[in-house]
Amino acid sequence: MNWQTISEQKSFGGTQGVYRHNASTTRCEMELSVYVPHTQGAEGDSTSKQLPVLYYLSGLTCTQENVTTKAGFQQFANEFGFIVVCPDTSPRGSELPGEHDSYDFGSGAGFYVNATQPPWSAQYQMYDYIVKELPPLIEQHFPVDHKRCGIFGHSMGGHGALTIGLRNPEQYQSISAFSPIVAPMQCPWGQKAFSGYLGSEQTSWQQYDATALINNGHRSSHAILIDQGGSDNFLAEQLKPELFTQACEEKNQPVTLRVHPGYDHSYYFISSFMRDHFVHHAANLNTKN
């Protein structure tokens, strides 16, 4: 089974679909959602013009369903003419020892890294899944323009968007994030995940730490947008956006951090500022609505 359609429904004139496929990187079935705006024909219509694409990476405990049903991005994707791809956050169904014991490690918590430690290394290859396996598959089934590609995400997914975008600036020309984990080497979530997936040698952790990547010379060609809730319970201990913005300032990477008083870590916050992220990506990718 290379590609299976689970559902397709009309939304804001476009089509919101959910799909499943066998992934070689994670050695299991992976489920994802894809929204195609109304300017395109049916899935796989080769006569349709190519559209810019945004990849959205979700946070801890999430699947593709959370953002697809709660974020309200479909109306903005249709307005600006973006295909939006929402993958899962980890392999599913492997039943590794301890995989389901905690919300911040294992199932639903892949952290968008390539695990090197057994037993996780056999399937928890989420970096390669997002960067290498998924884009060609999306191009095969949807009319995407890979030269106009952006990436964004929330929390753990914001961490993934920043690190993947910074490491692959030619592949992802635009980056934004909601409440990202910007310095996982300096917070409990990241330290737990990296120790389990990557081992105790912290040199290897740096390639998955956005603040370390900036300090080590990685750049995005456009300014990075970060939205953060001022009443986020995880702000001080886990997220620490000031570490990233300070590194960006010192290394001349343009970044805009907006802290919104009263907003928390939830999808109520994300949906409140979702349109701004489409505006950001449309400007960076020279896309007109």
- Where in the sequence numbering do the catalytic residues fall? 155, 232, 265
Contact 167, 181 (CB under 8 A): no
DSSP the chain: ---EEEEEEEETTEEEEEEEEEETTTTEEEEEEEEE-TTS-STT-TTSPPEEEEEEE--TT--HHHHHHHS--HHHHHHHT-EEEE--SS--S---TTTTSBTTBBTTB-TT-B--STTGGGT-BHHHIIIIIHHHHHHHHS-EEEEEEEEEEBTHHHHHHHHHHHH-TTT--EEEEES----GGGSHHHHHHHHHHH-S-GGGGGGG-HHHHHHTT---SSPEEEEEETT-TTIIIII-HHHHHHHHHHHT--EEEEEETT--SSHHHHHHHHHHHHHHHHHHTT---
